[in-house]
């Protein structure tokens, strides 16, 4: 089930399917252990964005808060 920000974004955007499709192209990767997962499945939204960014949050693999890299997967 989509989380709050995903539901809100989908309601406000004219093409909610495009928001989900674009967000699924992004990965969130732990900088310490290298565990990677899909940003949409992690509850995030990234639409019409460029570049990579870092975010501090919990890694499901490490079980601790770590720096996570959010980057787009090459097509």
Name the pTM for this structure.
Answer: 0.79
- For the chain of 75 residues, list the mean pLDDT of each consecutive stretch of 10: 79 87 94 93 90 92 93 84
pLDDT of residue 13: 85
**DSSP SS3 for 21:** helix
Contact 36, 29 (CB under 8 A): yes
Domain-by-domain residue ranges, the chain? 19-43+52-75
């Amino acid at each position: 089930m989509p989380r709050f920000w995903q539901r809100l974004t989908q309601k406000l955007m004219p093409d909610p399917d495009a928001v989900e499709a674009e967000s699924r192209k992004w990965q969130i990767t732990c900088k310490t252990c290298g565990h990677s997962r899909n940003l949409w499945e992690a509850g995030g939204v990234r639409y019409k964005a460029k570049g990579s960014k870092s975010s501090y949050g919990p890694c499901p693999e490490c079980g601790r808060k770590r720096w996570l890299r959010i980057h787009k997967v090459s097509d």
